[in-house]
Amino acid sequence: MSLTIAVVTYNCENLLGATLSSISAFRNKWPGDIEIIAIDGGSIDSTLSILKNSNLFDSLVSEKDNGIFDAMNKAANTAAGDWICFMNAGDFFVDIEAQNLYNELSIKCVDVSVLYGDTYVVFDGETKYLKKCTSVPTLFEPMPFCHQSVFTRTELLKKFPFDPEYPRVADQKLYMEILTSGYKFKYFPEAISTVVAEGFSSSQMNKTISEQINLKLEFHLITKADAIRVKFRMLAIQFIKNLSPKWALKLKRRFFGV
């Protein structure tokens, strides 16, 4: 069993330190074959030199792309590992027991195509909360996990590439396609990574919600008549979150999850 870790970058010189250090530590503990690749979008800051000087990568490509999911498709198409995991710049592996994870992937996942675990999420650059996968993937919630904490069989990402028509939720569509095709998912009850939550402007969130609605329509989960009602509800929830004071959001995350 072999594993590919793919790092997708673009002008992120200030975010790479913790990410590269954690991947290096993970590699040193991993008992099996591991490949580490980087797909850079043609950075014009010092990102590329940092990647090269790290001496960490088995393969490094830097060229213009059409966004993060286009770069992730390139990574999947070049990956040699049986399994693949993506780690964004700024995010990093937690100090997990690599042998347990290796045994899970190599021995206990013979009939499994997607293995997912929990994630620590950092808000406002300071407070860390554990995002536990309290539900199993469904069409209405295909990603109760973060993509930094999921291992997917590489052959599936070549069969179901990220769809550029959904530049914000292509990962959700991919796992919806995997679900509807009958592949098996399995929960690994440990935290795998720490990710930094990025703030979205209202316009960005509106676009994300619109893509999620279009995705539900494509998979016939809602009707066109339902779409307006669903979008209004999602926007209302987001509006309330945006108005909520930070202390209220902190309490919500602490007691009710991320």
pLDDT at residue 129, rounded to an integer:
85
pLDDT at residue 108, rounded to an integer:
93
pLDDT at residue 202, rounded to an integer:
44
Number of H helices, E strands in the chain: 9, 9
Q: Is the pTM of this model over 0.85?
A: yes
pLDDT at residue 225, rounded to an integer:
85
How is 137-168 classified by DSSP, letter by letter? --SSSS-SS-GGGEEEEHHHHHHS---TT-TT
Locate 31 and state its tokens. 């008992």
What CATH architecture applies to the domain 2-196? Answer: Alpha-Beta Complex (3.90)
Asked if 234 and 209 touch (Cβ cutoff 8 Å), the reply is yes
Q: Where are the domains positioned within the chain? A: 2-196, 202-256
- Chain-centre distance of CA 169, in angstroms? 11
Please name the residue that has the structure tokens 């000087």: 53
Regions of the chain short of the pLDDT cut 50: 199-203
Q: In angstroms, rounded to a whole number, what is the distance separating the alpha carbons of residues 90 and 19?
A: 6
Q: In angstroms, rounded to a whole number, what is the distance separating the alpha carbons of residues 163 and 120?
A: 27
